[in-house]
Chains A and B, each alone.
Chain A
């Protein structure tokens, strides 16, 4: 019976965040079937550790688990996609200060933008998704991604710079 209560409470607080969980998994794996499997597994894990949930924000808590499940899965299935020991410096983008306004981003084509986002390294993609699609604060993102709070802004900066470059290249090709 206690287990039933626990399940009911879990369904009430955590299940409503299913869309957020799926959205993150879908962006990190870039595949709908893998995303579904991962979300299902993440929910089981979350239920298992539900006793440890003390917070108020079920969404952030769940997404932390979804993210970890994604990374475990990526490590097992697509290890080349995650750079072990992600290095901010290696992945820093040389913004060419002498070449201003390269980008006439008047209205970025949706399709191109989506593809550019898909092409970002996963460590960049996740901060953009968490910030711009989920609307988390830097502090919350730091907790979910498990990086220092101060790193969130610089990682976002690099992610967006990279996005701009990808869009520029596409724009030039088109």
Chain B
């Protein structure tokens, strides 16, 4: 093997892409040739420099949200473009009429449907936070790190308590978007289960007692206390999640 061949192959060698025969050939050449041997060392330093340097650009926090927004717009547009067959019209009117009747009854049958929509939103946010390893914008178990982090990002200050001693360690905080507004999301952990606690101002002073609902295998608890609305979402079993909820509720109210 000559040096010109070797200079190319050193790359494959460094990258572990050579077959056995070539590998042996290049090793042999490197032992004999000081020049190529130095070149090989330089390659390694270079490669390690690139690999260990902080050269990897992570996506900005809000990029994912913007992409999801434009994706769901695209999906809706796509669904809207589907041309409906003509016969569809003949049954559309009766169906619409039936739908109106059903919708009118829904509030009486199932309570406020606002909660229902919100439950869906909260679950989506919860699932999304687990899916794309974007659980926490500020990963910290220290409430004195997490709480100030929200200042300047939200126009309210969510109460943040670490509940590690009670078996629910704080993992971090995240800015989220629920109910058409930015909200605080606190992440807690119970063994292998994560709990997202969403908090935003309720807009009224009256407290609302705890309600619970279960959907798609997730348990949700929600309540309003001291002017803040809380939604806790997790795949944790209902009993333990309730324990968590009671811990949160029994923390001293935020001053002011």
Contact = CB atoms under 8 A, between A and B. Distances in A.
Interface of A: 1-4, 6-7, 10-12, 15-16, 18-19, 21-23, 26-27, 32, 35-36, 39-40, 43-44, 47-48, 95, 97, 100-101, 103, 105-108, 110, 113-114, 117, 128, 131-133, 137-138, 153-154, 156-157, 160-161, 163-164, 167
A133 B67 contact: no
Q: 5 closest pairs, A vs B, by CB?
A: A22-B59, A105-B45, A3-B79, A26-B57, A101-B38
Contacts of B56: 19, 23, 133
Which DSSP category, helix, strand, loop or mixed, fits chain A's interface? helix
A133 B63 contact: no
A43 B132 CA distance: 15
Given A105-B45, A114-B53, A164-B42, A19 B75 contact: no
A93 to B, nearest CB: 10
B131 A12 contact: yes
A23 B53 CA distance: 14
A11 to B, nearest CB: 7
Contacts of B15: 131, 138, 156
A23 B63 CA distance: 13
A4 B75 contact: yes
Contact of A100 (B35, B51, B74, B75): B35
6 contacts: A10-B71, A47-B74, A95-B7, A156-B11, A157-B10, A163-B46
Contacts, number: 135
B51 A133 contact: yes
B55 interface: yes
Given A105-B46, A105-B49, A110-B49, 4 more contacts: A16-B132, A44-B70, A128-B50, A157-B8
A18 B11 contact: no
Nearest to A43: B67
Contact of A11 (B17, B42, B71): B71
Nearest to B71: A47
Interface in B46-90: 46-47, 49-51, 53-60, 63-64, 66-68, 70-72, 74-76, 78-79
Given A19-B59, A156-B15, A108 B71 contact: no
B151 interface: no
Nearest to B3: A97
A40 B66 contact: yes
Given A18-B132, A113-B50, A40 B67 contact: yes
B38 A100 contact: yes
B133 interface: yes
Contact of A19 (B49, B55, B58, B67): B58
B208 to A, nearest CB: 31
Contact of B70 (A32, A40, A103, A131): A40
Nearest to B8: A157
B84 to A, nearest CB: 14
B43 interface: yes
Interface string B1-29: 00100011111100101000000000000
A140 B50 CA distance: 20
A22 B63 contact: yes
Contact of A133 (B55, B74, B76, B133): B55
Nearest to A17: B132
A105 B42 contact: yes
A4 B60 CA distance: 26
Contacts of A3: 75-76, 78-79
B77 to A, nearest CB: 9
Contacts of B59: 18-19, 21-23, 39
Contacts of A39: 59, 63, 67
A15 B128 CA distance: 10
B34 interface: yes
Nearest to A26: B57
B42 A132 contact: no
A138 B57 CA distance: 22
Given A40-B67, A133-B56, A153-B17, A6 B75 contact: yes
